[in-house]
Structures are given as structure tokens and as C-alpha cells.
Amino acid sequence: MDVKALVPLAHGNEEMEAVIIIDMLRRAGITVKVAGENDIVSCSRGVKILSDLLIEDIESDDEFDAIIIPGGAVGTQRLIQNEHLRKILLAHNSSGKLIGAICAAPTLLSEFKIINSDSVITSHPSVKSQLENYNYVEDIVVEHNNIITSRGAGTALDFALAIINRLVNRNISLKISSDIVYNIT
């Protein structure tokens, strides 16, 4: 089965998180499509990423098994303002498909009402106060139902491996962590 993931990007997203997610999922054999707000997205520290398609060109969530959202304060706010992405994510969530959000991106899940007060989540410490109406924890990676959240750039490898574990299997995540000389917990 061909597993497909969508990674939406906006100007100001955190590049380490975006690149680690994209790279690690592709290492696992997952087909990753980068959907940008523009053809070229300039990340928070000036790294430019080419989009495979524009967010507005996503026809539906049907073709994706997962939607994984990198953080970065400015990029997250820009994604929150994208009405088309909101519709895609709401449809994706209603199907019970995997959604991942790291760093500031869990605030998008709150804004789009994808999570509820019982949802167990984490985020970057800088946005914790915006998420205190949820079951907030400070674990590196938190999995709750179809949602995986994580803390920030420093936890992006663990986050990506958790996604791989869910979408493919644990053996592949262990192999990839060994291949990149990373000790998975």
C-alpha cells in the first residue's frame, strides 16, 4: 500500500521541523507532498522550500493518510488564516486519519476545533498558555487518538519516527533511526 502524507507550509514555518518531517517520512517510503502557500516558501530562518503544489490546489484529503504540520510562530499563524487548509483538515479529522502538529502548530488544531478539552497534547513552551484548556503534558511526543503532537525543532526526529511507527511500522522506524545513528526511545 502506498502511504501518502501532506505537509502544508507557509512563510515563517520552522525549516528544521519541515525538512526533518519530509526527509524522515520519505526515508520510510511514504509519498510526501509539500503544499505551500506559494511555489517557494521562505521559512523562519530564510531557508527556501519548493512546494509540490499550492495549498489551494489540494482537491480533498482523500488521497492522504496523514497531514503533518510543522510549527514556527509566523508560519502557524499564516496556516491558521488559510480557509482551504481548514476545510481539508476538518474533513481529514472527521475521517479519523492521522494529523501531526509540532511546535506552535498545535494552536492550529485548537483554532480549527480539531481537538477538544479531553485531548492530550503538547507543544512548544511559548504557546503552552494558548493550549491550557486541553489535557496539556510536556512529553516529547504525545499520541492521542488520531493526533500526534510534539514540542519543537529539538524533538522533530522523535516526532517523525512516531509518525512512521503509526503509518508504516515500528521496525521501519527502528531501522531508520539506526541508519541515521539516532537512538530512539
How many CA within 13 A on the CB side of residue 113? 2
Query: DSSP H helical segments within the chain, as ranges?
Result: 15-27, 73-80, 83-94, 106-111, 156-167, 170-179
At residue 1, the pLDDT reads 62
Residues tagged active-site: 103
3-state SS class at 124: coil
C-alpha cell at 134: 486541553
Q: In the numeric block, which cell numbers belong to residue 41?
A: 516558501
Joined grid coordinates for residue 168: 508504516
- Whole-prediction pTM: 0.96
The pLDDT tens digits of the residues spanning 54-96 come to 999 998 867 899 999 999 999 999 999 999 999 999 999 999 9
Mean pLDDT in residue range 129-148: 97
CATH homologous superfamily of 4-179:
Class I glutamine amidotransferase (GATase) domain (3.40.50.880)
